Chain A
Amino acid sequence: MDKEAIQRALKRIAHEIVERNKGVDNVVLIGIRRRGVPLAKRLQKFLAEIEGKEVPVGSLDITLYRDDLNLRLDQPKVGKTEINFPIEGKDVILVDDVLYTGRTVRSALDALMDIGRPRTVQLSVLIDRGHRELPIRADYVGKNVPTSRKEQIEVRLEEIDGVDEVVIGEWKEE
Chain B
Amino acid sequence: MMWDRKDLIGIEELKREEIELIVETAKSMKDILNRMIKKVPTLRGRTICTLFYEPSTRTRSSFELAAKYLSADTISIATSTSSIQKGETLLDTVKTIEAMGVELFVIRHSASGVPLFIAKNIKSKVINAGDGMHEHPTQALLDVFTVYEKKNRLDGLKIAIIGDVFHSRVARSNIYAWNKLGSSVIVCGPPTLIPKDIQYLNVKVTYSLEEAIEDADIVYVLRLQLERQKKGLFPSLREYHALFGVTEERLRKAKKDVLVMHPGPINRGVEISSEVADSTLSLINEQVTNGVAVRMALLYLMLGGKSDENIN
Binding site for B on A (CB under 8 A): 61, 64-65, 69-81, 110-111, 114-115
Contact = CB atoms under 8 A, between A and B. Distances in A.
Contacts of B3: 75
B45 to A, nearest CB: 8
B156 interface: no
A114 to B, nearest CB: 5
B304 to A, nearest CB: 4
Contact of B28 (A73, A74, A78): A78
Given A64-B300, A65-B42, A75-B3, A80 B308 contact: no
Given A75-B304, A75-B305, A114-B37, A69 B28 contact: no
Contact of A81 (B24, B31, B297): B31
Interface string B1-32: 01100000000000000000000110111011
Q: Is the interface of A mostly helix, strand, loop or mixed?
A: loop
Contacts of A64: 28, 32, 40-42, 70, 300
Interface SS, B side: loop
16 contacts: A61-B28, A64-B28, A64-B32, A64-B41, A64-B70, A64-B300, A65-B41, A69-B42, A71-B306, A73-B308, A73-B310, A73-B311, A74-B305, A80-B28, A110-B41, A114-B35
Contact of A79 (B28, B39, B301): B28
Interface of B: 2-3, 24-25, 27-29, 31-32, 35, 37, 39-42, 70, 297, 300-301, 304-308, 310-311
B29 A78 contact: yes
A70 B72 CA distance: 13
Contact of B306 (A72, A76, A111, A114): A72
Contacts of A69: 42, 304-305
Given A65-B41, A114-B37, A75 B31 contact: no
A6 B237 CA distance: 72
Contacts of B2: 74-75
8 nearest A-B residue pairs (beta carbon): A75-B304, A64-B40, A75-B305, A78-B28, A64-B42, A114-B37, A73-B306, A78-B25
B141 to A, nearest CB: 16
B300 A75 contact: yes
